[in-house]
Structure 1
């Protein structure tokens, strides 16, 4: 028995002036329209870049989210936001608490593991904060040195009794304890 073939039906044309196949969409018919479309694309790209930077920097505000970290670390200094150092640096800091920058800051094993895991999970991953600074010191990282370079912060500021050293963030950054290092909240003490 032979198979019967049926002719393929093409859908009826909706209107005689509408082509059967879609025509490639012309992006721009005039130079002004092309410029407007490029500008719109750049705005979208810039907004995306700013959003990813804000997302990376938003980790700075998580410093108070672990009570144990706040309790143990902020007892001696500001509880540095974990996003200021990469995970490898935090692991070395936590592993060397018996000689923590000249001080014995030892913790029991459970606290050390809990804080270490939290620091690693919230460590800096953006290009700005992922570099391992010399001696794992925040104040020796490239981004810190750029932000606090001579001309921005004079050398005599660090010597003031009210500041003491570059690691005393809260002396100038009034919101440092909440992870806020924005320029609008800087007050350089006399």
Structure 2
């Protein structure tokens, strides 16, 4: 029986995020990206968006969702390298999180991703949204979000 359990665990680690119901996404591990991004909001896991999205976000930091989040060139380049290197489509992989996103689409908000809308459709009550303040405040409902756990 032990052998079966370990094979199951191994098989589950090969599935795309959320496919095994564990709702885990590796959190940001680069210390510079973590420090800079979490200064204003949770440092969102890179695997939630495709490379092209992270590149566009990093290229427009002077107007980052209405805020000036400009960084010096070296810091910006390091963070972009980290984000694109760990994105949903990094290394040519095909993540289930990109299902429904055309190759020509460049979503700039995680909340615009089809998987996000499917996961939260009907689940985010007005009360929870008021408590969170914004749909982008993952940690308000997902207590382990900063560790990569997005279970309710």
Alpha-carbon distance, 1:85 to partner: 0.5
What SS is found at the alignment partner of 1:60? Answer: coil
User: Which ranges of structure 2 fall in alignment gaps of 5 or more residues?
Assistant: 1-6
What SS is found at the alignment partner of 1:107? Answer: coil
Structure ranking higher on relative contact order (CA contacts 8 Å, 6+ apart): 2
Quickly say closer, same or farther: Cα 1:59–1:114, change in 2 above 3 A: farther
Structure 1 length-normalised TM: 0.63
1:35-184 correspondence runs (5 A) = 50-53=12-15, 56=17, 60-63=25-28, 65-125=29-89, 126-130=94-98, 131=101, 135-150=107-122, 152-158=123-129, 160=130, 162-182=131-151
**1:59·1:82 contact (CA, 8 Å) conserved in 2?**
no
**1:60·1:83 contact (CA, 8 Å) conserved in 2?**
yes
Number of equivalent positions: 134
Aligned mates of 2:60, 2:37 — CA distance in 1: 14
Q: CA RMSD of the aligned region, Å?
A: 2.5
Q: Which has the larger radius of gyration?
A: 1
Structure 2 length-normalised TM: 0.77
